[in-house]
Chains A and B, each alone.
Chain A
Amino acid sequence: MPDLIEAFHTALRLIATLDPGLIEIVVLSLQVSLLAVILASLIGFPLGGALAVYRFPGRGAVTAILNALMGLPPVVAGLAIYLLLSNAGPLGVLQLLYTPTAMIAAQMLLVVPIVGALTRQYCEDLLEEYDEQLRSLGASPREVTATLLWDCRYRLLTVVLAGFGRAIAEVGAVMIVGGNIDHVTRTMTTAIALETSKGNIALALALGLVLLATAFAVNGALMGVRRFALRLAYA
């Protein structure tokens, strides 16, 4: 027990003194997950919006697959990107395995279904209200999609935050394609896994606290966005 308390003190000191080793890991984690979420949103928003508006054969199947992929296990996403980027894989020539780029790709694979599926759901709900009015105004499917995405903007912001929460907290995907290489691909989650198994509880605990604070911040932002949108009746 005294060991644990000491580890906790060390962890707090690492955070308070902005320990360079700690900061490096935190910054890389945030960079990877932020980029993954931004890129996933660029794909997921139009994908979800189009799925809500356009009618085409196989639409139900695409929607079902997207919904199912929301629960994609991170290790499976990591494995898929690994196979793609390994030397024997189709994109092996790019030599991207064990780089932050590979980690971004793996997290995108996790987040695109979340952003896409939630965007589709929100847009479809809103379309029920808007459909006749927009058709009366003569909007084309493309214009309907754009209108829905813009009018869902606060909800989409919460979708982005949910996607970020998922990306920053996962460990399996970045472990497989990143390899947890010190100073190169070590993120908060992979470092926690490693340091804990090495018995270096203090660093693991410090990273855990930062991760926890990130989760709180994301949730706080989520609630703030929702409350703001409600006040404008834009929810």
Chain B
Amino acid sequence: MLDPTSPPDLSNASVDGASPPLPLELRGLVYETGGKRLIDNIDARIEERGITVIMGPNGAGKSVLLRLMHGLIPPSRGEILWAGRRADRELARRQAMVFQKPVLLRRSAAGNIWHALGLRGIDWSERPARVEEALRLAGLERLAAVPARTLSGGEQQRLCLVRALSLEPEILFLDEPTASLDPASTLLIERLLIKAQRQGIKVIVVTHDVGQARRLAQDVIFLHHGRVIEHGPAKVFFDQPRSEAGRAFIAGGLVL
């Protein structure tokens, strides 16, 4: 255990901005709220540079785990280490997150990206190019001036994704990004994710859509009742799930 008062161990930390600060280690992670244990003593080590998919039935603790990793909520016990280092403000700035329900500011599509860049301290002179690039990536160039909240559901979620990507994160978290989207919109999002991963961004995505997990995952964490039931390469998990719950989930059965 690291002493929180000691300086962070930088020996194996990634100082190069281009490579994500991996591995991500979860040690004895517990999260309790309102007398309920939502995350129950999770130990995991995420090393893969590929896309890690967190799967599991509703209420398994997927979203909570993602929020813990992103630092939006503090764990009740245990710790989260990025390349051996506790999360701090600097590490948080190298991450971005896309939420299940698109959170868009009451501004234009371009204004949303612009403001996000501003909050991350991106220089004024650099912003127009980044905004333009992000809108192009989402195929929303012609809707730049349109109020973001009047866009369609798929367009809104794409905007949220490219807004996150415009920050040039090294780690990208997504919480069920396509849960309420049609297949075409889902495909566009998945393509953007694969592209982001190829550019070296570590993508960690929560989904309960088995098909999506098969399409995206190189690494699967299967959660159930706040515990990691299985964690390993996607191929192994999908071909030979070791747990009863995992088998049932893949088969599309009910996991209770």
B-binding residues in A (CB < 8 A) = 129-130, 132-139, 143, 147, 151-153, 232-234
Contact = CB atoms under 8 A, between A and B. Distances in A.
B238 interface: no
B143 interface: no
A132 B99 contact: yes
Given A136-B70, A139-B119, 15 more contacts: A132-B67, A132-B72, A132-B97, A133-B97, A133-B99, A133-B103, A136-B97, A137-B96, A137-B119, A147-B105, A147-B115, A151-B107, A232-B149, A232-B150, A233-B150
A145 to B, nearest CB: 12
Nearest to A134: B119
Nearest to B89: A138
Contact of A130 (B96, B97, B105): B105
Contacts of B106: 151-153, 232-234
A234 B89 CA distance: 31
Given A138-B93, A232-B150, A129 B103 contact: yes
Interface in B82-108: 89, 92-93, 95-97, 99, 103, 105-107
A132 B73 CA distance: 10
B203 to A, nearest CB: 15
Contacts of A233: 106, 147, 149-150
B119 A135 contact: no
Given A133-B103, A151-B105, A138 B149 contact: no
Interface centre among A132, A133, A134 (most CB of B within 10 A): A133
B120 A138 contact: yes
A19 to B, nearest CB: 45
Interface string B112-141: 000110011000000000000000000000
Nearest to A144: B119
15 contacts: A129-B103, A130-B105, A133-B97, A133-B99, A136-B96, A137-B120, A137-B167, A138-B92, A138-B120, A147-B105, A151-B106, A153-B106, A232-B147, A232-B149, A234-B106
Contacts of A135: 72
B159 to A, nearest CB: 12
Interface residues of B, number: 22
Contacts, number: 49
Interface of A is mostly: helix
Given A132-B72, A132-B99, A234-B147, A138 B105 contact: no
Contacts of A232: 106, 147, 149-150
A123 B86 CA distance: 33
Contacts of A138: 89, 92-93, 119-120
B149 A137 contact: no
Contacts of B147: 232-234
A130 B106 CA distance: 11
A130 B103 contact: yes
Interface centre among A137, A147, A233 (most CB of B within 10 A): A137
Nearest to B173: A136
Nearest to B167: A137
A153 B107 CA distance: 11
Contacts of B72: 132, 135-136
A138 B95 CA distance: 10
A134 B116 CA distance: 8
Which 8 A/B pairs are nearest by Cβ-Cβ distance?
A: A233-B149, A133-B103, A234-B106, A151-B106, A232-B147, A136-B97, A137-B119, A139-B119
B33 to A, nearest CB: 15
A152 B67 CA distance: 27
A153 B116 CA distance: 18
Contacts of B103: 129-130, 132-133
A132 B173 CA distance: 13
A93 to B, nearest CB: 46
Nearest to B103: A133
Nearest to A232: B147
A135 B72 CA distance: 7
Nearest to B95: A136
A56 B47 CA distance: 41
Interface centre among B96, B99, B106, B147 (most CB of A within 10 A): B106
Interface centre among B70, B89, B115, B147 (most CB of A within 10 A): B115
Contacts of B70: 136
Nearest to A137: B119
A94 B78 CA distance: 63
A138 B93 CA distance: 7
